[in-house]
Structure 1
Amino acid sequence: MSTSPWQTITLRDGATLRARIAGSGTPLLLLGNLVSWEFWHHQIPFFAQHYRVIAPAYRGRPRPGCSALDALAADVPDLLARLGESRALLMGHSIGAMVLARLLEQQPQVARAVVLANGFLWLRLVPPALHRVARRVQPHLTPLLWTIYPRLPWVARQLLAFGLLWGTQLIFLRHEPACAKREMFFAYTNTGDGSMIMRLSAALEYAHPPDLSGARVPVLLVSGAHDTWMQPWERNRLAQRLPCGTQVVVAGRGHMTPMVAPDVFNTTVLAFFRRVESGML
């Protein structure tokens, strides 16, 4: 197994990404949540025994002419091409799953198979009574992020992120052990401003459920039974609309399933990939 701590890749528009690369064989690209590749520290060594694992950080600047969500999705085939790959196994968590869902809408041919872990159909930042209004307003908040976020004091950014993204959705208040809360928080604080804004903007732009009816590749949905970002009826609806989709719900877990239940998650995903490679899916 070959391992390179970091590799810097220059994309077509001149943006540079750093990626953690380990292992060899069929490429497996991992897209993380707010803290990029560090979230996958339970997965990288495990899957590097079987695949060429590519765990990139996200870009830190807009792609000209693209929304943030489209830019992050377009980076996937661009990054793979720079590494000499045209297709890959793809796995994303939370915002990473949303980015891969957009990629499946636009360029499904890039994927051999896809794992969407703890994704969500659209971002909820307000009480249910305001959801309809929020769906219309959220996509227009991106310019404000670029204007305001970099100017906020560091402490204000942490409080804002916790209040809007973590506390509101109860991700870090229920069903996750204290060690996972601390791990995510301190990894988040080291994330660059531009990269953070790109991901927050992508999440805000994702105001409607994805249309994955054209995704003819195998898709596995993995979620925690107590994940408040994806209600059971939403999980079922998304799975039913996937031409080649299936789902696994991990009992007793919330939004951070790959981190807090790595053994169950890793073996489940590996079994899925093995079925794909054997032609059973």
Structure 2
Amino acid sequence: MPYAIAPDDTRIYYETYGDGAPVLFIHGGGGNTICWYQQVPFFARNYKVIVMDLRGFKNSPCAPESNHPRHYPADVLAILDQEGIGKVNLVCQSLGAWAGLPLAVKHPERVQTLFISGSPTPAYSPETWEILRKAGKTFDDGRHDLRSKSIGWNRKNVEARPEMLHLYGCIKALNPKGFLALTMQADDVKIHPVEFEGYRVPTLMTGGSHDDFLTPESHHLVARLLPNSQKYTFEDSGHSPYFETPDEFNRVVLQFLDAHN
């Protein structure tokens, strides 16, 4: 089980599969390395796949005071440096964008492409911050179990495949408690519009049309802030297309990666 050592000595767990251009998958607030089980075998055919546990999740325990997304970019760099990777493709789900987008803005020389799904990201606008406030309140008020029931999913998919929701809940249960969604709105993680001047990393913002955990508009709002970014909507999915409609998700990600690698 490989670990990278972050600047504050937190051990960051990760796994690698396959060979080729590196692709790092970064999970959301309900995930960990296991949640990418439908992506790892698919992408490892042609790419070097890396999955990680963000600090505070599953195999990356940390001190309560350091369980904060401000550390995520440095945690990713620790993995890249340990693996000898100069430039990486990033696939970020929801909370994972707090690792990916700051790296693309502040260290574009390390990011080949950035794919973001289901996330208002730390890119600040009054609209994105209001979405975060509402979703974060649901998470931090102890109602985050609603994600393991029905909120944020295409209800038709849940009815047809109840095992999908059960598995999601089992994966999520492996994470220790302690992460506070309120930290996602901290001043030191906020990225202001002026910081996107000259932004040049190829970026694809995506979201699901059934995402009522955030809103179906989140990826559109962020795309307006990122120069030259693209958009894609998963019409049959909610907040987590990678989990809910994996075939379409994999196809869209692969097309994006192949176009820039």
**Same fold per superposition (TM over 0.5):** yes
2:58 corresponds in structure 1 to none
2:245 corresponds in structure 1 to 261
2:78 corresponds in structure 1 to 78
2:33 corresponds in structure 1 to 37
**1:58-78: CA deviation from partner (whole Å, max 9, x where unpaired):** 2232598x7812201221112
Compute the RMSD of aligned alpha carbons. Answer: 3.5
2:5 corresponds in structure 1 to 10
Q: Tell whether 2:23 aligns with 1:28.
A: yes
2:18 counterpart letter in structure 1:
G
Offset at residue 252 of structure 1 (A) = 2.0
Q: Tell whether 2:62 aligns with 1:61.
A: yes
**Structure 2 unpaired stretches of 5+:** 56-60
2:225 counterpart letter in structure 1:
R
Q: TM-score, normalised by structure 1?
A: 0.73
Cα distance, 1:46–1:226 mapped onto 2, change above 3 Å: same
CA contact (8 A) 1:175 1:226 kept: no
Whole-angstrom CA distance in 2 between matches of 1:167 and 1:7:
29
**1:12-57: CA deviation from partner (whole Å, max 9, x where unpaired):** 3322122121001211111011321111111111111111111011
1:102 counterpart letter in structure 2:
P
Alignment of 1:243-254 (within 5 A): 243-254=227-238
Whole-angstrom CA distance in 1 between matches of 2:148 and 2:197:
33
How many residue pairs are counted as aligned between the two chains?
Answer: 241
CA contact (8 A) 1:105 1:214 kept: no
Mean alpha-carbon deviation: is it higher for 166-175 or for 236-245? 166-175
Whole-angstrom CA distance in 2 between matches of 1:257 and 1:268:
11
Q: Tell whether 2:152 aligns with 1:171.
A: yes
CA contact (8 A) 2:120 2:222 kept: no
CA contact (8 A) 2:4 2:78 kept: no
CA contact (8 A) 2:148 2:168 kept: no
Alignment of 1:186-225 (within 5 A): 186-193=170-177, 196-197=178-179, 200=181, 202-205=183-186, 211=193, 212-225=196-209
Offset at residue 201 of structure 1 (A) = 5.2
Matched residue of 2:7: which SS? coil
**1:75-133: CA deviation from partner (whole Å, max 9, x where unpaired):** 111211111112100011111123322333332332100100111257xxxxx9xx59x
Q: TM-score, normalised by structure 2?
A: 0.78
CA contact (8 A) 1:87 1:109 kept: yes
Whole-angstrom CA distance in 2 between matches of 1:182 and 1:80:
33
Cα distance, 1:26–1:67 mapped onto 2, change above 3 Å: same
**Structure 1 unpaired stretches of 5+:** 1-5, 123-127, 140-144, 146-156
Mean alpha-carbon deviation: is it higher for 252-261 or for 167-176? 167-176
Whole-angstrom CA distance in 2 between matches of 1:237 and 1:10:
35
Matched residue of 2:169: which SS? helix
2:145 corresponds in structure 1 to 162
2:97 corresponds in structure 1 to 97
CA contact (8 A) 1:70 1:102 kept: no
CA contact (8 A) 2:91 2:114 kept: yes
Mean alpha-carbon deviation: is it higher for 44-53 or for 93-102? 93-102
Whole-angstrom CA distance in 1 between matches of 2:150 and 2:119:
13
Whole-angstrom CA distance in 2 between matches of 1:190 and 1:85:
29
Offset at residue 215 of structure 1 (A) = 2.8
Cα distance, 1:58–1:217 mapped onto 2, change above 3 Å: same
Whole-angstrom CA distance in 1 between matches of 2:8 and 2:94:
26
Matched residue of 2:109: which SS? helix
Offset at residue 181 of structure 1 (A) = 1.5
Matched residue of 1:114: which SS? strand
